[in-house]
Structure 1
Amino acid sequence: MTFEELTQNKPTLEWKQRMDEEDDIFTDENIHATNKVLDSYISSLKELGDMPTEEAILECVKEVVIQLNELNDKYDYFIETMEREELAEFIEEGAKIVGLKSEEDITEEWREW
């Protein structure tokens, strides 16, 4: 997967569709805010360069998870089981693009959702 493909496969695209189908945990505001956080994550990964250290990659992961924790709190806990899985998969895919090799849930250490 590439960063372009990752950008085109953000979980928020499915969330928007679910919102349009009357799923009331989503709002334009929480989807927009989540998009900004995910875009920032992609940018921070791109800035790492060609051979980032595992520590540098995990720092990006930590930052995006903490930002998502804050959004989840701000928007009345809209990240539930399905959303958690979608976000974790997205974050892990981004980390793999820049070279992280891990079979574990790399979001779990900081995740509150």
Structure 2
Amino acid sequence: MTFEELIQSKPTVEWKQRMDEEDEIFTDENISATNDVLDSYINQLKGLGDASTKEAILGCVKEVVLRLNELNDDYDYFIETMEREELVEFIEEGAKIVGFTSEEDITEEWREW
């Protein structure tokens, strides 16, 4: 997968469709805020370049997870089981693009959702 493909596979694309189909946990505001956080994560990973060490990548993962924790609190806990799985997959795919893979959930240490 490339960064462009990752951008196209953001969970928020499906969330918008589910919102349009009357899924009431989503709003334009929580989808937009999540998009901003995910875009920032992608940009941080892109910015690592040759510095894409395990520690640097996990630093990006930690930041995106902590920011998503805040959003989930701010927007009445809209990250439920399906959304959690989609976000974890997205975050792990981003890490994989810059060379980090793990058999474990790399978000679990910081994740509150």
Query: What range is the shorter-chain TM-score in?
Result: over 0.9
Which residue of 2 is the match for residue 67 of structure 1? 67
Question: What is the rounded CA distance, in whole Å, between the counterparts of 1:79 and 1:47 in structure 2?
Answer: 27
Deviation at 1:51, TM superposition (A): 4.9
Q: Residue 92 of structure 2 contacts residue 101 of structure 2 at CA under 8 Å; is this kept in 1?
A: no
- 1:38 aligns to 2:73 (yes or no): no
Structure 1 runs (4+) deviating above 4 angstroms are: none
Counterparts in 2 of 1:1-113, with a 5 A limit?
1-113=1-113
3-state secondary structure, aligned to 1:50: helix
Query: What's the TM-score, normalizing by structure 2?
Result: 0.98
Counterpart contact for 2:45–2:94, Cα < 8 Å = yes
Unmatched segments (≥5 aa) in structure 1: none
Q: Which amino acid aligns with 1:66?
A: L
The code of the aligned residue for 2:14 comes to: E
Q: CA deviation at 1:52?
A: 1.1
Checking the alignment, whether the CA contact within 8 Å between 2:61 and 2:106 is kept in structure 1 is yes
Question: Considering only aligned residues, what root-mean-square deviation do their CA atoms show, in Å?
Answer: 0.6
Distance of 1:34 and 1:5 partners within structure 2: 18
Q: Contact 1:51 / 1:99 at 8 angstroms: preserved in 2?
A: no
How many positions carry a matched residue from both structures?
113
Q: Deviations over 1:36-70 (max 9, x none)?
A: 00000000000000351100000000000000000
SS in 1 for 2:112: coil
Q: Which runs of 5+ in 2 are unaligned?
A: none
